[in-house]
Structure 1
Amino acid sequence: MTIPSTPAVKTPGEHPVLSAVRQLAPKVASRSEEIETARRLPADLARELAEAGLFRMVIPETYGGFELHPALVVEAVEEISRADGSTGWCVMIGALTAMCSAWLPEPAARAIYGAPDVITGGVAAPQGRAELVEGGYRVTGRWSWASGSQNCRWLTGGVVVMKDGAPRMVREGVPETRVLLFPIEDVTLHDTWHAAGLCGTGSGDMEVRDVFVPAERSLSLVVERPRVDRPLYGLPAFGLLGLGLPAVGLGIARRAIDELTALAPQKKIMPLGRHAIATRPAVQEAVAEAEATLRAARAFLMETVNTTYEAATRREVTLRHRAELRLAYTHAMKSSARVVDRMYEMAGGAAVYRASPLQRCLRDIHVATQHAMVSQPTLELIGSVLLGQEANTVML
């Protein structure tokens, strides 16, 4: 165990949410095996995280949220992910899904997000179908990767809007898509999450069948402006939604460095076993490179997050800002994976056992890298923007 067993000293001006994360981290780390085996976040731990405010980080202050600076959101998700990747992933999903509160009409936002312990989740990808009817939509759909849904009171689902059985088009070749919110009572959860990594996220399928959703419980991150006019919601919508992804990667990678650093003075070089692997030049070089790689990726991430937020306060977010922000996300995740791979390799046979957190880091990071918002195709899209080429930039 390399997570500190006592809370870190609170720094002057540190936000209470960050203080709570540092206090909770040792407890979360101690329950990693339980979380992994259960294949979901335990309900009591989810409640404790909610009570600490981790799912209210991006809810507007006017609705009782914290409306944190995005760099603080990154720090909080990174720290909890360092303790346990699955827990960090669930916090990321719940915290950032709550951005919907700034897009919903005020009565709906207060009804859903007014409770201080509410947890929301879901899937924004338009895998459902919503037939336009009087007062709202009749929705049927099934969504994969509904992380943390077992502890949610409300779940979001992305849909294609239908009219008379055909997709309603916003322009030629482009159907209208929206995000709808369902109370948990309207949703069937399917236990399909038998995955290689992030095993404790409970990311099974969610399904609704012919459910009515009133229009006030729908929003569009593509064509609608947020109803709460504050700098945080001036960030690119999908940039805000994906803010926690690189933070999860950075946290997992930091844990991998922690684990190898703790192991290296203890594990002996075989076959003679006279010296610790910490004396091997290859291990020394790997740790040095890993430290530089991780901190450089984190610095780039924080630079772009801060720059984009400053532009949002001036209402001057450009396509270049959007592209660079997403580049920082993808770069951080890919850099984190390289760090974890190297630390796992240097640990040798000791890392393959279930008792080693390094094997969990390896599995978790390589599931996290598969998320569409930080996958290889994002670099192609970003590169086209940086080169001044035409591209579909709606999802940036």
Structure 2
Amino acid sequence: MEHPSMYLKPEWVKIIRDHAHLAEDMEVLHPRQLDLVHEQEWFKFFVPKAYTGLEMPLPNQVRLEESLAWSNGSLGWVVTLCSGAGWFGGFMEPELAREIFMCEGLCLAGSGAPDGTAEMTKGGYIVNGEWRYASGIYHATHVTANCIIIKDGKPMLNADGSKLVLPFVFDKKDVEVLPAWKYIGMMATGSHAYRVSNLFVKSNRCFRIAPDARVIDSPLYRYPFLQLAEATLAVNLSGMALHFTDMFDIILKEKVTGNQWNTDQKKHAKHVFDKAMNVMAYARRKFYNALDISWQICETGQPIPDEVLKNVSSTSRRLAKTSREAVDALYPFCGLMAASPDTQLSQVWRDLHTASQHSLLTFAL
């Protein structure tokens, strides 16, 4: 398997990592990191070409997102989550999409939780709600949110009796950010909460994610959102895990040539490292094979078979699980530097274990 470093210029990695601890202290991406993101248009991975986006093929995006997470967990996560919202551009009315996606400094943050209500009124909706975990919200130009649709004081229902939930997009100026991100890792993501109170939005600020609602008929917007989300999140964990194993390789070489461990201990640590690298390589191969096959089918315009999509889901979740377990197998050999908040090794460990709590990655299939 290719190492993530092959997708990033060394000078980019240096900028990202040189400012990683400052970003953690600031609890947002460092301005120099953010400048690089905008220079390379990484927030535009999913934005349609019609709106000056990259509309990058999914396998290319995923490999680059793994590389960014390898360079730094918080930056990779913010790019993944904020660029992912650009996928909605394939389902928005063109007039609104041009207004949003062609703005200077584009960045969309948001939440997928249905923690708001949108009451139908003349010409639009009155929106109220409070959502958590909006990564990169301080960098955002726009914010997305899922809302329960209310009509005449009652929730509207789907055909199966469940409440109708639809996504909305707001201007950042209309959103109140609520500082609430205090966790051991991913500190520079600034994944704070936000609130909207009695906000009127026009009807076109609401859209549907469904095949019959697709405005741009290209492979990227035909690909199912669940597997897209699982894949992009999983490679953030594998990217962070590979950063950890890179650093562990250096530690191991130092300890093998030193006198701290005896011969049997050196052999055991080397065996654990080799096993961790092998299971990581296997999980990555299986994952990328599943993803690439699903994309090739999607490009033909044919529906992706259920068993192919299930394989993307299962290999995504197994990759996330394998990444976490591989790092945990190596952690005890690292010494106290792994427990020091001032080391890069500790930062990567904390970032990975925080990111791995995402609900989509909890259960391996």
Could you tell me the TM-score, scaled by structure 2's length?
0.92
2:292 is the counterpart of 1:306: yes
SS of equivalent residue, structure 2 residue 177: strand
Q: CA deviation at 1:287?
A: 1.4
SS of equivalent residue, structure 1 residue 117: coil
2:63 is the counterpart of 1:75: yes
The 1:274/1:142 distance shift into structure 2, 3 A limit, reads closer
State the partner residue of 2:94: 106
Q: CA deviation at 1:112?
A: 0.3
> Are the equivalent residues in 2 in contact too, given 1:35–1:42 (CA < 8 A)?
yes
State the partner residue of 2:347: 360
State the partner residue of 1:373: 360
Q: How many residues align?
A: 362
> Are the equivalent residues in 2 in contact too, given 1:118–1:153 (CA < 8 A)?
yes
Q: CA deviation at 1:221?
A: 2.3
Structure 2 CA distance for aligned equivalents of residues 231 and 339 of structure 1:
34
State the partner residue of 1:321: 308
Structure 2 CA distance for aligned equivalents of residues 366 and 241 of structure 1:
19
Structure 1 CA distance for aligned equivalents of residues 218 and 13 of structure 2:
31
2:188 is the counterpart of 1:196: no
2:218 is the counterpart of 1:225: no
2:342 is the counterpart of 1:333: no
State the partner residue of 2:248: 260
Q: CA deviation at 1:28?
A: 0.6
2:80 is the counterpart of 1:92: yes
Q: Give 2:149's aligned amino acid.
A: V
Q: CA deviation at 1:357?
A: 2.2
> Are the equivalent residues in 1 in contact too, given 2:237–2:355 (CA < 8 A)?
yes
Q: Which protein is richer in helix relative to its size? A: 2
Q: Percent of pairs identical after alignment?
A: 22
Structure 1 CA distance for aligned equivalents of residues 118 and 171 of structure 2:
16
Structure 2 CA distance for aligned equivalents of residues 277 and 190 of structure 1:
54
The 1:244/1:268 distance shift into structure 2, 3 A limit, reads same
Structure 1 residue ranges, 4+ long, deviating more than 4 angstroms after superposition: 274-279
Which of 149, 156, 170 is matched with 2:158 structurally? 170
SS of equivalent residue, structure 2 residue 103: coil
Q: CA deviation at 1:273?
A: 3.4
Structure 2 CA distance for aligned equivalents of residues 274 and 121 of structure 1:
48
Structure 1 CA distance for aligned equivalents of residues 109 and 51 of structure 2:
18
Structure 2 CA distance for aligned equivalents of residues 204 and 223 of structure 1:
32
Structure 2 matches for 1:1-396, cutoff 5 A? Answer: 18-19=7-8, 22-115=10-103, 117-222=105-210, 224-267=212-255, 273=259, 280-314=266-300, 315-376=302-363, 379=365
Deviations 1:236-264 (A, max 9, x none): 12222443201111110001100111112
SS of equivalent residue, structure 1 residue 182: strand
Moved more, 223-232 or 193-202: 223-232
The 1:367/1:222 distance shift into structure 2, 3 A limit, reads farther
> Are the equivalent residues in 2 in contact too, given 1:186–1:208 (CA < 8 A)?
yes
Structure 2 CA distance for aligned equivalents of residues 324 and 79 of structure 1:
23
Structure 1 CA distance for aligned equivalents of residues 67 and 352 of structure 2:
15
> Are the equivalent residues in 2 in contact too, given 1:190–1:205 (CA < 8 A)?
yes
Q: CA deviation at 1:278?
A: 11
Structure 2 unaligned spans of 5+: none
Deviations 1:347-380 (A, max 9, x none): 133311123322222221122121121222x63x
Q: Give 2:248's aligned amino acid.
A: L
The 1:169/1:33 distance shift into structure 2, 3 A limit, reads same
> Are the equivalent residues in 2 in contact too, given 1:57–1:65 (CA < 8 A)?
yes
> Are the equivalent residues in 2 in contact too, given 1:85–1:248 (CA < 8 A)?
yes
SS of equivalent residue, structure 2 residue 114: strand
Structure 1 unaligned spans of 5+: 10-17, 380-396
Deviations 1:73-93 (A, max 9, x none): 111111111111011110111
> Are the equivalent residues in 1 in contact too, given 2:230–2:317 (CA < 8 A)?
no
The 1:277/1:208 distance shift into structure 2, 3 A limit, reads farther
Deviations 1:102-155 (A, max 9, x none): 110111111100136311111122111111112221110111001000000001
